[in-house]
Chains A and B, each alone.
Chain A
Amino acid sequence: MTQVRNSQSTDTRGLTMRRNISRQKKLFLLLFIVPSLVLYLIFYIWPFIYAFYISVFDWSGYSKKMTFCGFDNYVKVFRDPIVWSGLKHNLYFLLWSTIVIFVLSLFFAVCVTRLKIKCPNFFRIVYFFPNTLSIIVVGVLWMFIYNPSFGLLNGILETLGLDGWVRDWLGDKNVVMGSLIVPQAWMYIGFYMVLFISAIQGIPEDYYEAATLDGAGQFRQFFSITVPLIWGTLRTALVFFVVNAFARTFALVYVVTEGGPNRASELMTTYLYEQAFQNGRFGYGAAIGVLLFAIVCAISMTIYKLTARENVEY
């Protein structure tokens, strides 16, 4: 009986101890999480919510004086052709940068990991290097490359006798968007390449060895082993592409073309900046921002839904 009591008492003490440890852990975690969470709420979530609030006001952004205007800003946004042409250019960025960056970065990642090329680290560094540069530096660099008078690109084309291909790359409305995709791709290929390399390196070598023994070639291995097993990373990368196409193209376009010529490279973000910060129409700019947020969310969720598959475990 005493033994039973002792045993019960030990169990209760053990339970209490485990509860205490669990409580301590929770407290410990809370102490570290709460400050970051508070900062996140104040500096990320609150401005986000505040943008929604601002968007229903006529506000210059130069004082605290705000006039409620209901959904007037939204009505104007939907009627503004520049917003829609900006969206079209953002989608152009999304489509082409996704195709170019995705294909090339995946190709280079497979080359470095599966084809056993020499000095893989060298290539990794070389391709990743542009990603370490400031977007401003990248923009200015490519402005020089595209310069119609002394630019490297036209110079090479002329040297090769391809005078007919010489263009005002940033001043011709027909080619300016394509010209902007190139520096964007140049900058981000390395980042996605490193992302894909780490995912591919996580795949057990046995799978490839077994596939090789079964007679599968590189293409078959790529589509039947590599792609399914890094599918989660590919999905994440696609969402990054959406965010990049809408949010991270601003600086490049602003530095290189300022949205020109004649708004041929105007993005929703550059137009938002113009309205809010240069024209003194902060409420209107916020309404464009809210629309942008809705579009990015919708596209990201669609991509996630369309690419959803059962996880392949290994």
Chain B
Amino acid sequence: MKKRIALLLATLLLFGLFAGCASSGQTNAAVTTAVATTAATETTVDASGETTSVAKKTNKNLSILWSSGGNGEYVNYTVDYLKNTYGLNINIEYNAKAHEILQPQLIAGNPPDVVMVQHSFFNYYEAIQAGSFQNITSYLDLPVNGSDKTVREVANPDIIDSTSVNGSTYLLMSNMNVGGIYYNKAMFDEHGWKVPQTWDEFIELCKTIKTTTDIAPFAYPGMYPYYMNCFVFPQICALGNGADTFQNFNNMTEGFWISDPVEKAFERIQEMRDNGYFLEKLTSLNHTETQMEFINGNVAMIACGSWLQNEMADNWPEGFELAYMETPAAANADAKKYVVVSGNMFAFPEAAANKEWVGEFLQTYYSDESAAAVAKDCGVVISPAMVAENNEVRAALSDSVVESYESANTNTKLYLLASIWYPEFWKNYQNTLSSLVAGDIDAAEFCQTVEDYAAAIRSDSSVVKYTVG
């Protein structure tokens, strides 16, 4: 009897084990197997730009993995449109840890059809080199829905070529953010402070704030020094030869970090540090903590981006008038200005099961209706030009956000591509900047250290190099 019970228990245990394996296999199969459904009768445009019948597209499935970390649900309009128009079965997952989900799926060969992950957590360019993403160049000339404009013309055209690899496009910007300085207009009015237009005016304002109030003149999220880029790189451009100087950064040109404009720009940071213009003990503050210091009136100006209004949506006190100012970097107010822009990128995995809907996805995502929905739901803009061209987009945004996008439209935009191409270098740069602000090193040491990091990347044959301009 005991023997039988023991055997029964053991069999059940083994059965459970195999059942577990089987059910896991079935789940994978359900995810990866395309279900053929009745073909629709609409016509659409294929990758070559020719009109073809959607009826040819028997696969009606689409899976989307979209990072939700601090972003919002960007593709809801697109999903609804594709479902209603083409009868697609769409599986959409918004997840803050999308990068962690994607990586094993890429290796296993069963990735979603559309993916957007934050490039600070995922090395897109390594993945492109590994052949993980589709070349989508042929789709760029498709017209977006309800417009004569093509995807290329709407999807931040000035960045498409720069982000390409060997002339082919693998990534597109899902949205564009604008970096700059934000301040409380009500606080400025109350104290009679004027928005500085030049570097001298800025330093004078910092001095006034420091000496006449308990408010810290300036802050940035110390744990994430890249927030300072919107402040630092316009200084480098203003002190050097504008955008030409800046491209030396993207191209990792030898000597860039120890060149005169760069050294002067970081001497300015050192000057701010030495005069106590930064919020005290900010090195360990993350973005929300720093932004709360700003909201609580402990900081007069903060280096941040166009997402600020939306990110802190429930925290703005009564009477707070969030406003945007361009980084005052030049010696005179009429000089050319520079604005650092950034954004999230999305791509289409090469091993995706349902690759035939890339064109329709892009045509829909970059449409005016989609842009209006993204602006309304997420407080950001797919492309800065849309703020000027699309009234619905403009109406959906707050004043500070509109001001920042208008600044991007009227000034020279700076894309920090090297930060995406060389994440290791970028992390080292940020750490060194943190040391400079903390007072551990001076500007000259900072520049030499970062130049050494850049030299290490230049000499590392295992790192693929990219250039612009």
Contact = CB atoms under 8 A, between A and B. Distances in A.
B388 to A, nearest CB: 36
Contacts of A169: 284
A31 interface: yes
A5 interface: no
Interface stretch (B6-14, B33-41, B178-186, B402-410): B6-14
B132 A62 contact: yes
Main secondary structure of the interface of A (DSSP, over half): loop
Given A168-B281, A277-B103, A65 B126 contact: no
A170 B6 CA distance: 57
30 contacts: A24-B3, A31-B6, A31-B13, A62-B107, A62-B123, A62-B127, A63-B127, A63-B130, A149-B285, A168-B282, A170-B284, A171-B222, A171-B223, A171-B438, A173-B435, A257-B223, A260-B223, A260-B283, A260-B284, A260-B431, A260-B434, A261-B283, A261-B284, A261-B438, A262-B434, A262-B438, A278-B122, A280-B123, A280-B423, A281-B126
Contacts of B131: 63, 65
B427 interface: yes
A141 to B, nearest CB: 15
A167 B438 CA distance: 12
B17 interface: yes
A235 interface: no
A195 B132 CA distance: 49
Interface residues of B, number: 44
Interface in A157-173: 167-173
Contacts of B103: 61-62, 277
A35 B132 CA distance: 36
Contact of A32 (B13, B106, B121, B284): B13
A148 interface: yes
Contact of A262 (B6, B17, B440): B440
B194 to A, nearest CB: 28
A313 B228 CA distance: 65
A171 B106 contact: no
B121 A274 contact: no
A60 B3 contact: no
A64 interface: yes
Interface residues of A, number: 37
B434 A279 contact: no
Interface string B101-137: 0010011010000000000111100110111100000
Contacts of A65: 130-131
Interface string B277-304: 0001111110001000100001000000
Contacts of B17: 35, 39
Interface string A111-136: 00000000000000000000000000
Nearest to A63: B130
B32 to A, nearest CB: 16
B445 interface: no
B254 interface: no
Contact of B132 (A63, A146, A275): A63
Interface string B386-427: 000000000000000000000000000000000000011001
B98 to A, nearest CB: 13
Contacts of A24: 3
A261 B286 CA distance: 12
A62 B285 CA distance: 32
A148 B427 contact: no
Interface in A270-295: 274-275, 277-281
A28 interface: yes
Contact of B281 (A28, A171, A257, A277): A171
Given A32-B10, A61-B103, A173-B440, A262 B120 contact: no
Given A173-B440, A262-B440, A62 B126 contact: yes
A64 B438 contact: no
A62 to B, nearest CB: 4
B107 A63 contact: yes
A147 interface: yes
A146 B120 contact: no
B126 A60 contact: yes
Contacts of A258: 223
B285 A148 contact: yes
A88 interface: no
B127 A64 contact: no
A222 to B, nearest CB: 40
A149 B289 contact: yes
Contacts of B281: 148-149, 167-168, 171
A230 to B, nearest CB: 37
Given A60-B129, A149-B293, A171-B281, A279 B14 contact: no
Interface string A237-274: 00000000000000000000110111100000000001
